[in-house]
Structure 1
Amino acid sequence: MTTPEPSSVLIATALAKTFPDQNGGLDIFNNISIHAEAGESIAIIGPSGAGKSTLLSILAGLDEPSKGSVELLGRPLSGLDEQSRAELRANHISFVFQSFQLLPELTALDNVQLALEIQGHPHPEQQAGYWLDRVGLKQRHHHTPARLSGGEQQRVAIARAFATEPSLLFADEPTGNLDEQTGTEIIDQLFELNQQLNTTLILITHDASLAQRCQRRLYLHNGSLQEH
């Protein structure tokens, strides 16, 4: 693999992850390297249990690799304490998960607004409303997640993700809990917004047709990562 240019948003080098067990350790993956440029979309595909979500957690600084290093936006994660990592994520990174990860006691507006407040946005309520309108939820600002369909909840999650205008978006099986038609609509919206904001997208999926929409596809299997 060629050496990434300095403009790389993500550089992961020789990553390995081992979980301890009674036999001395279970290797999830070994010697994995990834780089992602600004505005690039990358799908990481592979069978269930291959370690895709574990890899995402390491790339996002939510988990530590057993070996190797991760650099986000020019900052090595190994040199940051947890507070600094949290600030880096709050200011530059967003997530969209299969399970939506909305706070059940908050309205759609409040869920999006909270992310903006953490970032220190000067007009969080106004910005949250704008993004909910943009994903087609103009009439749902004051609905809690329990009053929203699965597709609507994922739209709130997408609004929350893009409202902070991240440099890097991690999406982990974003259509996993949705029917096919709703999932297609959600993905169309995610890719449209991603392109408009020139966000770097790392997409975890087992869906080959969804992976085809990304510029690059990396296959995680038997502990190794290969580019398709």
Structure 2
Amino acid sequence: MDQSNASPSMIEARAISKHFDTEAGRVALFSDLDLSVPVGESLAVVGRSGAGKSTLLSLLAGLDTPSSGSVSIAGQAIETLDDRQRAELRASKISFIFQSFHLLPELTALDNVRLPLEIRGAANPEQDARHWLTEVGLGERTDHYPSQLSGGEQQRVAIARAFATRPALLFADEPTGNLDEDTGSHIIEQLFSLNQQEGTTLILITHDPELAARCQRRLRLHNGQLTEE
């Protein structure tokens, strides 16, 4: 096959495995998985709960290390980087939407979104943070702390934070799981607008078949194997 016109890869995973040692012995979550994600692709990973989707996401993002195999992000092999270099790579290129939000409780919604912009040296971090909070419907809640927000509102803050930095690569674990239907539809449109207008590579874990169907490619993780849908 002629690769001369192939898109460059944002992620290359080669023969990655993850196992855990328990009192009952070694448990293999998956073994020898290969995955290539071109720049600008939208990819959904689906599968039953407990199949290892969130673990796979953590390995691809460099938040965890595989038991064997290698992962490269934008041409950089993660296993060759120290903790500081990995943190710098994530700060410069990657954003996350986690199910558990990971908001800083001592910061307001505005400051939770503004902080990563300041870390990246954005020219107008407060203006950008206010813009994205408005985009997710929280323009009137900027001064509220996470404890003063509902679960759905906290998720929207996390989504605004992820969008605000206009990342090269966005990982999202059930990004609409705590949102009502109307808000979820709006967030989905924002996700794919980011993908199409900014060229952001999207890797989504989802149980939502409509969201998965919007992606250019769908993979199912089942019994330790990735298969095309």
By the TM > 0.5 criterion, same fold?
yes
Correspondence for 2:129: 128
Unaligned runs of 5+ in 1: none
- CA drift of 1:6 comes to 6.5
RMSD: 2.1
- CA drift of 1:41 comes to 0.3
Unaligned runs of 5+ in 2: none
Q: Secondary structure of the equivalent of 2:16?
A: strand
Q: 1:23 to 1:149 in 2, by over 3 A?
A: closer
Count of matched residue pairs: 228
Q: Secondary structure of the equivalent of 2:114?
A: helix
Correspondence for 1:61: 62
**Contact map agreement 2:31 2:224 (CA 8 A) in 1:** yes
**Contact map agreement 2:51 2:223 (CA 8 A) in 1:** yes
Q: Superposed, which structure 2 residues align to 1:65-76 within 5 Å?
A: 65-76=66-77
Which deviates more, 180-189 or 18-27? 180-189
Q: 1:161 to 1:207 in 2, by over 3 A?
A: same
Whether 2:12 is the aligned partner of 1:11: answer: yes
In the alignment, the residues of structure 1 paired with residue 188 and residue 103 of structure 2 have an alpha-carbon distance, to the nearest angstrom, of 18
Correspondence for 2:33: 32
Q: Superposed, which structure 2 residues align to 1:79-228 within 5 Å?
A: 79-228=80-229
In the alignment, the residues of structure 2 paired with residue 74 and residue 56 of structure 1 have an alpha-carbon distance, to the nearest angstrom, of 18
The Cα offsets for residues 119-143 of structure 1, whole Å up to 9 and x where unpaired, read as: 2324322322232233333222212
Q: Secondary structure of the equivalent of 1:20?
A: strand
In the alignment, the residues of structure 1 paired with residue 58 and residue 118 of structure 2 have an alpha-carbon distance, to the nearest angstrom, of 24
- CA drift of 1:179 comes to 3.8
Correspondence for 1:50: 51
Q: Secondary structure of the equivalent of 1:211?
A: helix
Q: 1:2 to 1:183 in 2, by over 3 A?
A: farther
Report % sequence identity: 62
**Contact map agreement 2:40 2:199 (CA 8 A) in 1:** yes
In the alignment, the residues of structure 2 paired with residue 23 and residue 34 of structure 1 have an alpha-carbon distance, to the nearest angstrom, of 30
Alignment TM-score, normalising by the size of structure 1: 0.91
- CA drift of 1:99 comes to 2.3
Q: 1:113 to 1:23 in 2, by over 3 A?
A: same
**Contact map agreement 2:176 2:184 (CA 8 A) in 1:** yes
Q: 1:100 to 1:29 in 2, by over 3 A?
A: same
**Contact map agreement 1:175 1:183 (CA 8 A) in 2:** yes
- CA drift of 1:23 comes to 4.0
Amino acid in structure 2 at the alignment position of 1:199: T
Which deviates more, 39-48 or 158-167? 158-167
Amino acid in structure 1 at the alignment position of 2:57: L
